[in-house]
Structures are given as structure tokens and as C-alpha cells.
Amino acid sequence: MERIRITKALQKIGCFFLVGTILVSCGSRTESGGDGGESKWTLTSKDKKTLADFNRGAAFLEQYKYSEAARAFESVLDAAPDWTAARFNLGLAYINMQVKPGAKNYLKLAQEAFETVLQSNPDHLHARFCLGLYYQHFGENEKALVCFRKVYESDSEDAYVLYKYAETLISLGLTEDGTKMLEKVIALDPGFISAVYRLALQYQRMQNATRQSPFLPVSQNLKTQN
């Protein structure tokens, strides 16, 4: 099965998985010796290892070394099972891992990771978006539509989110709504080539030559260049 390349897609929607924060639960509180009696958080050796594993996993994601990233985040979650960022990143690693005969169903594990994140934080848009990509990959477009619509309602200015929403609408036969969404994509990002092609195709199918004109020269020029 072909890998679902979503890391770049997430970067397009502003998802940065290099999260340099630590959950409070990963620290142990100690009293400082100051006159004010203030307290501070320090890290145990176990906490430091957990943080190091997290940063190592994030670095592997950036290098597209998904198996190594998965092992690192699995180690993180063994020590800190409630660390949402680690579980989300583990889902990213799983969804990009090649599925081989007899191997774990990594796509299913990715789905479970994103659903777990959403159970603890229903407003985690990046997990919702990834879950939508998962459903779209398997042709479960109605479920994908629910996910993409939710993200769109929270971020209606991101062209890539709108594009995936438009794709799903069109796949479900909601062509008029999908076409309008593609128009919004190009209004936000006139250089979004995939959207330009898709919108021109929709106009051709709608047999609307007048509305084709602003976009067809762009796509024809691109074909000439290629």
C-alpha cells in the first residue's frame, strides 16, 4: 500500500510537530531555598530521557524516518501516556509507515492514535484533519467530509484545508458546493495549481465556458511548460 504522505500537508496547514514543551506531569516539584519560599519544577533522569525521546522522534519525522520516529514516540508514551503531542506525532509516524504483509496494521494504529487525541481534546484540529485524510484514503468520504468540515469551520482561511474539503464534496456528488469551495481556494491562493486544474475540470463538466476563461489559460500554460 502506498504511504500517505501527510507531513508536508500538515506543514501547509501550520502543524509543527517539534513541540518543545513538557507536560507538568513530567516534572517533579521541589522547594527552592529562596526567602520567598517559591517552588520550581525540576526534571528527573527518567523525565529527561522521555523529553530526549520526544525530540529524537520529532527529528526523525522531519527526516521522514517514520519507523524510527514511531519507536521513539512509543517509548515516550510508555513513560507519559497522556502526552497528547507525543500521541499525535506517533499517529503521524504510523500513517506514513509502509504496510507489509504480516506486519502491523499501521494505518489502523494511526487511526486509533488520532481518535485517542480527539477523545482527550475534541478541538485538536490537526488530529481531526489527519483522521479525515485517513478516511479519504480508504474512500470513506462521508466520514472524511465530517472531519474536513469541522476543520474548515474552525479555519476557513487555509487553502489546503479548503481543497481537501472540496475534493470530498465532489467525491460525494456535491459538485456545486465543491466547485464553490475550489473558487474560495483560488481566491485565497491563486498559485494553488492542483486547485486550478480541478476547478477548470469542474467548469468543463458544468459546460460553463464563461466561467472557464479566468482559469483555463493558466492550466493550458502549465501544460505547455511541462
Q: Domain segments of the chain: what residues?
A: 1-30+40-138, 148-226
CB count within 10 Å of CB 226 equals: 5
Q: CA 76, CA 47: separation in Å to the nearest integer?
A: 9
Tens digits of per-residue pLDDT, 90-130? 999 998 886 655 557 899 999 999 999 999 999 999 999 99
Q: CA 214, CA 226: separation in Å to the nearest integer?
A: 20
User: Do 183 and 202 meet the contact criterion of CB atoms below 8 Å apart?
Assistant: no
Residue 139: the pLDDT is 94
Residue 83: the pLDDT is 94
Q: CA 114, CA 122: separation in Å to the nearest integer?
A: 10
Amino acid residing at 184: K
CA atoms within 13 A on the CB side of 66: 18
Nearest to 162 by CA among 188, 136, 130, 200: 188
Which residues lie closer than 8 Å to 21 by C-beta, 6 or more apart? 85
CATH topology agreement for domains 1-30+40-138 and 148-226: yes
Residue 104: the pLDDT is 74
**Which of the four CATH numbers 3.40.190.10, 3.40.50.2300, 3.30.200.20, 1.25.40.10 does domain 1-30+40-138 have?**
1.25.40.10
Residue 80: the pLDDT is 94
Residue 136: the pLDDT is 93
Instruction: Give the CATH superfamily of 148-226.
Output: Tetratricopeptide repeat domain (1.25.40.10)
What does the pLDDT profile of the chain (226 residues) look like in tens digits?
334 445 445 544 444 343 333 333 333 333 334 444 444 446 688 888 999 999 999 999 989 899 999 999 999 999 999 999 999 999 999 988 866 555 578 999 999 999 999 999 999 999 999 999 999 999 999 999 999 999 999 989 999 999 999 999 999 999 999 999 999 999 999 999 999 999 999 998 887 544 544 555 554 454 444 4
